[in-house]
């Protein structure tokens, strides 16, 4: 039964991604930055859905472990993709990296920390790293993504 429920966060993410792609397509937005933005959304939306699911279910099951691996890989891919996206707001380093890129570093650190902790059997440290990744890498960074001047804010304005 729980394996069947695991598909719902993934399906919800795909629906959200299709909506974002539809908005982008009707806006005529096609270039390098937007291509990266689509890939970024394609990895972060399922990560958000699966991460939320993992926070709510019983820990330690084989399903939790499988989805946890997916979540870690999706967050790493999201972080890698974001490093190629130039900062759109605020001061930059090397005319590319901004404060938002600190969340990519958080993702790299948190995934490594969580993986090392769980491989040593340190469940508390693993949980702390995963909660930090979820809150910092998804909730806080995601909130910044909807601020005025950012791409998702522009897309949200088109929907409203």
> How far apart are the two ends of the chain, measured CA to CA in Å?
37
Q: According to the model, what pLDDT value does residue 7 have? A: 57
Q: How far apart are CA 89 and CA 140, in angstroms?
A: 16
**pLDDT, tens digit (0-9, with 9 covering 90-100), for 46-67:** 999 999 999 999 999 999 999 9
Q: According to the model, what pLDDT value does residue 160 have? A: 81
Q: How far apart are CA 62 and CA 58, in angstroms?
A: 11
Tell me the longest C-alpha to C-alpha distance in the chain.
50
Q: According to the model, what pLDDT value does residue 19 have? A: 65
Q: According to the model, what pLDDT value does residue 34 have? A: 84
- Ranges in the chain, pLDDT < 50: 1
Q: According to the model, what pLDDT value does residue 78 have? A: 93
Q: According to the model, what pLDDT value does residue 59 have? A: 93
What is the Cα 100 distance to its own chain's centre?
Answer: 13
Q: How far apart are CA 31 and CA 33, in angstroms?
A: 6
Q: According to the model, what pLDDT value does residue 1 have? A: 45
Q: According to the model, what pLDDT value does residue 8 have? A: 63
Q: Model pTM?
A: 0.78
Q: According to the model, what pLDDT value does residue 20 have? A: 64
């Amino acid at each position: 039964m729980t394996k069947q429920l695991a598909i719902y966060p993934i399906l919800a993410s795909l629906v959200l991604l299709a909506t974002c792609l539809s908005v982008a397509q009707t806006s005529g937005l096609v270039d390098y930055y937007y291509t990266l933005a689509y890939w970024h959304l394609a990895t972060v939306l399922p990560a958000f859905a699966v991460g939320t699911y993992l926070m709510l279910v019983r820990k330690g099951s084989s399903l939790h472990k499988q989805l946890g691996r997916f979540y870690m890989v999706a967050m790493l891919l999201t972080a890698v993709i974001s490093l190629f996206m130039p900062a759109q707001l605020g001061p930059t380093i090397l005319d590319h990296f901004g404060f938002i890129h600190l969340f990519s570093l958080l993702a790299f650190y948190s995934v490594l920390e969580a993986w090392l902790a769980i491989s040593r059997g340190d469940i508390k440290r693993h949980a702390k790293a995963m909660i930090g990744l979820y809150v910092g890498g998804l909730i806080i960074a995601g909130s910044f993504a909807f601020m005025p001047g950012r791409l998702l804010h522009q897309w949200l304005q088109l929907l409203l």
